[in-house]
Amino acid sequence: MSRLRVPRRRASALALFASLALLAGGCGFISFGTHPASGYGYATGQTLRIAVVDDTGGSEWSPAIQTASADYAAATPYLDFIQDPAGANIVITVHRYSDSNPPQIRGYLFPFGAGGFTTVYDDAGAACNFPPSTLPENCDGQIAAADIYLNDAIPDGWDLEARRVRLLRHEMGHAFGLERHSPDLDIGHLAERYGWPQ
């Protein structure tokens, strides 16, 4: 009896495709009580104040960070990007890294080979785990901070800047509390999470 042998690269590509299909198959968000973000009450009609801290060292990622933030701000009147982290409901810090020097992450498993990923924490600093972490979700759902990690291994190409922006839009969705969501802006599911009119 012969066994079907799948080349390692092809098997990896198939596994990646299956993972992406699974993630795209549903949408969810981090559960919460009455406050989906620090100091933010569900369905109050107030704007969600976001501070984005660029910790990439003024790198080539900075224009994409600014564009992705502007795209979200233009997509809904319920998101307000502010300069001062002290006045924000959620503070997002954006970092760059390489697989050869992975970050040390509280409460998450480092996903080798990912283009980027996001970690989310509540007011007490507890991790609000979701894939790729296999650890249980243990936060109260009131998001206070998030870290977005961007891998410098993203391949060059004529559309590099557009891919950077798309990656940042997606990771920002996670920072706002979406677990699984479309690759671009997902204002509908953010509206569900925060009680915004649609």
Confidence label for 12 from pLDDT (cuts 50, 70 and 90): very low
24-74 confidence digits (pLDDT tens): 334 688 989 999 999 999 999 999 999 999 999 977 899 999 999 999 999
What does the pLDDT read at residue 56?
95
Tens-digit pLDDT profile for residues 145-165: 999 999 988 888 999 999 999
Structure-model confidence comparison of residues 119 and 10, the more confident one? 119
User: For residue range 99-140, what is the model confidence (pLDDT) as tens digits?
Assistant: 998 888 878 878 888 899 999 999 999 888 766 666 666 789
38's CB contacts (< 8 A; 6+ apart) are 89, 90, 122, 123, 142, 143, 144
pTM listed for this prediction: 0.84
Domains of the chain, earliest start first: 35-194 (3.40.390.10)
Task: Write the secondary structure of the chain as one string of H (helix), E (strand) and C (coil).
Answer: CCCCCCCHHHHHHHHHHHHHHHHHCCCEECCCCCCCECCECCCCCCCEEEEEEECCCCCCCHHHHHHHHHHHHHHCCCEEEECCHHHCCEEEEEEEEECCECCCCCCCCCCCCCCEEEEEEECCCCECCCCCCCCCCCCCCCEEEEEEEEECCCCCCCCHHHHHHHHHHHHHHHHCCEEECCCCCCHHHHHHHHCCCC
In a 13 Å sphere around the CA of 190, the CA atoms on its Cβ side amount to: 22
pLDDT of 143: 97
Confidence at residue 153, expressed as pLDDT on a 0 to 100 scale = 87
Asked if 88 contacts 53 with a C-beta cutoff of 8 angstroms, the reply is no
